[in-house]
Structure 1
C-alpha cells in the first residue's frame, strides 16, 4: 500500500504508512519534522507508535547532526534468524524440554553468564573499542558495577521486555530459530549518557527545541564524533550478542537433535540504529528507530507478537521509505495498560499451541497488546515482499 497519511506541519513532510496511529505519535512526528537539519521528509512505518525520545517506527534522515534519543538506549537492537534442516515431524510432541534447554543456555532478564563465553579474539576487538570510549567518557564506567565483567558476561544473553527466542515453522514446515535482542546494559548506559549530554549541550548553547528529547549533536561540535564512535561500538556489540546467542542456542538444540544442518541465514539486522547512507541526492545520517533496512533484494525479519505470525521478507528498495520497512507489529497498548486490561487466562488463550511462559510476568507481551501483523504487512506491500511466513511453536521471553 502507498503512503496513507502525510503530515505537513513542520519544515519537512512526514509520510505515514498507516492510518492506525495515536495522536501522541503524530505529535512526536510533527516535532521531529520541525528540526532544521532533517532532510527531505520523515517516514513512519506501519507499526508506528509513541516512543520514549522519538516515535517508534520512524525513519529520520539528518544532515550534519544526530539525535541520540532517536536512536534510543537499546542501541543496535535487532533480529537474527536461521533455517534448519529439521522439519515439524522431527519435533517431539512435548516441546517444554526444548524451551528449558534454551533457557538453560541463554540467561534472560537481568541474568548473565558467569564468565565470558565468546572467543578471545572477539573480546579483544570489543575491549579495545570500549576502552577508547571510556577513556574519554569515564562517567559511563560509573553507571555499571564492574563494567568490564558485566559487558563481557552479558554477551550471549537475552535481556527482558519484548526480547525473545523462538522456534518457528514456515509454510513448508521447516524449523527456524529466530531471536530478538540488542546491546544489553552497556548499550543502555551509552545511550542514556549521551542523551543526557546532548540535553546539557542544548541548554548551554541555548538552542530552542520542539521537545527536550530531540536534543542533538551538530557535526563538528565537541561530542559529535564521540557519540558516533560509541553508537557504532554498541551496534557492533549488539550484532555480536545475537551471534553468540544463536551459537549457544544451536549448541543446546544439538543435545536434543544430534543431526541437523543450518540451511540458510535470513539476516542479522538492527532495527534501532544510525548509519551513513545516501538518499534523495544527499549523504545523510539515517536513524531507524523501530525500522529495518529494506533495500532492493535485501532480506529482513519482521516478527509478530508471541502468538502471531512472523515474516522473512525481501526489500523492494522503496525510495520514499528511505529503503525501510517495519520492525514488527508495533504496540497498540502500553505495557501498564496491557497488565491492567488482560488476565493470565487471556494470555493462555492467545498463546494456545505455543510452548512458552504463560504467567503474569509476561502479561504485558500478550498478543492483543500489539497491532494486527497482517494489517501491518498489507500496509507495507510497496516496501517488501514476503519470502517466508513463520509461526512460532516455542517462545522464550526475558
Structure 2
C-alpha cells in the first residue's frame, strides 16, 4: 500500500501527497504546478506541505528544460547545519545556559544586523568576489537593490523569521548545535529580481499561466543561465554562511566551557532545503527544485527540525524514488504569521516553550509551536522516506 495519495487534473502530471490533510490553497497550488508543460513525471508533496508564493512549500518539482524561480524562492540555499559536541546537558547549569545564550548574541549578528566592517571575514568572502562581479556586470540593477546592505558583512549572520540557533540534547544528554539560515539579504535580492524578470516576460508573452508566480526560464536562454549562476552563487554562500556561524557559536560556547569542541563521533551535517540541482530520476536527467524539502538519498543524513519548543530529528534517507529522494524539511505551518500573532499571546509562548532559554516577546509570536504541525505526525507520515537516527530537543534557542 502506497504511503501517499494521488491527486491530479486531466492533462497534467499527478501529484503524490504524503500529507494526511491538504488545505484548499495548497491543493490548488500543487495542481497548478503539475499543469506546467515541462514538469516531469509527477510533483511530490511532503507531509509538512503548506501554501507558499505560487509554488507550495514542502513540494518537490522535477522539470525538463526549464526552472521556476519562485519555486526555489527568495531564500536561496536556506538550510540546516548540525554538529554534536563533546559534553552533556548535565554539564551546563541554568546560569551557564543563559551565559551561552548571551555569548551567542555577541558573536553572531541576528535579525537585520550585519557584521561590523572590521569583523568582515575577507578570507571567506574572497572566493565569491568574481562571481558577484560577473552577475553585477550582467545585471547592474542588482547593485541598486543592495545599497542598504553588503553581502560581505552579512556572511556569517543569522537573519530573522524562522531562522534560529539552538543547543539541543537527546535522551542520553548529548548536546548538539543546530542552526537554520540561508543566503540572507543578498539571496533575497537576487531571487526577487529574477522572479520579477520571469514574471515580466511571461505577462508580455503569449504563455497563459495558472499563476503568474509560476513563470519560468527556458533552459539555454541567457535568463536561464544568469539565474542558474545566481542560484549556484547563493547556494554556496548559504552553506558558507552556516559554516561560519557554527564556528562563531562554538567560540561563544567556549567562553563558558573552554574545553568545548565538535565531537568526531558524528559527522557534521549540512543540508539545503530551498534549492535546485541537476539529478537523475526515472532514467532522465532533470532539474529538481526542493521548495522546503531535504534530499534523502539512501543512507544520506539529513536534519528535520520541529518548531521552537518541539523535538527535532537527525534522519537517514531511504532513497524513495517516488519522492525524488526527498523528505519534509520541518514541521510546516498550520497558520500564517499574521494569524498567529492575532491568535496567540506572549503568555501562550512562554507556556509552550517552558524550559527553553529563548525570546518571549511579540516579535516572535509567529514562531509559537501551535502555529506549526506536530513534528511527530510529520515523521510518521514519511516513514517510507527517512529513518530517525536521533531525536533531540532544544534547551536554548536564539531567534532573529
Give the equivalent residue in structure 1 for 2:157.
157
Shift of 1:116: 6.4
Give the equivalent residue in structure 2 for 1:89.
90
Give the equivalent residue in structure 2 for 1:290.
292
Alignment CA distance shift 1:229-1:116 (3 Å): farther
- Tell me, in whole angstroms, the C-alpha distance in 1 between the residues paired with 2:224 and 2:184: 23
Alignment CA distance shift 1:8-1:359 (3 Å): same
- Tell me, in whole angstroms, the C-alpha distance in 1 between the residues paired with 2:208 and 2:157: 40
Shift of 1:274: 0.1
Shift of 1:104: 1.2
Give the equivalent residue in structure 1 for 2:231.
231
- Tell me, in whole angstroms, the C-alpha distance in 2 between the residues paired with 1:359 and 1:111: 19
Residues 1-16 of structure 1 mapped to structure 2, 5 A cutoff: 2-9=2-9, 11-16=12-17
- Tell me, in whole angstroms, the C-alpha distance in 1 between the residues paired with 2:236 and 2:205: 32
Give the equivalent residue in structure 1 for 2:117.
115
- Tell me, in whole angstroms, the C-alpha distance in 2 between the residues paired with 1:17 and 1:210: 24
Specify every segment of 5 or more residues in structure 1 that has no aligned partner in the other structure, as ranges: none
Shift of 1:2: 4.0
- Tell me, in whole angstroms, the C-alpha distance in 1 between the residues paired with 2:340 and 2:87: 36
Q: Deviations over 1:240-275 (max 9, x none)?
A: 100010010001111111112311334111000000
Alignment CA distance shift 1:116-1:80 (3 Å): farther
What SS does the aligned partner of 1:165 have? strand
Give the equivalent residue in structure 2 for 1:180.
180
Say whether the 8 Å CA contact 1:117–1:156 is kept in structure 2.
no
- Tell me, in whole angstroms, the C-alpha distance in 2 between the residues paired with 1:117 and 1:206: 50
Q: Does 1:215 align with 2:212?
A: no
- Report the more deviating stretch, 308-317 or 122-131: 122-131
Say whether the 8 Å CA contact 2:125–2:155 is kept in structure 1.
no
Q: Deviations over 1:200-224 (max 9, x none)?
A: 1212332111110000000122311
Give the equivalent residue in structure 1 for 2:171.
171
Shift of 1:11: 1.2
Specify every segment of 5 or more residues in structure 2 that has no aligned partner in the other structure, as ranges: none
TM-score, with normalisation over the residues of structure 2?
A: 0.97
Say whether the 8 Å CA contact 2:253–2:260 is kept in structure 1.
no
What SS does the aligned partner of 2:39 have? coil
Residues 1-398 of structure 1 mapped to structure 2, 5 A cutoff: 2-9=2-9, 11-94=12-95, 95-115=97-117, 117=119, 119-145=121-147, 150-263=150-263, 264-398=266-400
Say whether the 8 Å CA contact 1:2–1:382 is kept in structure 2.
no
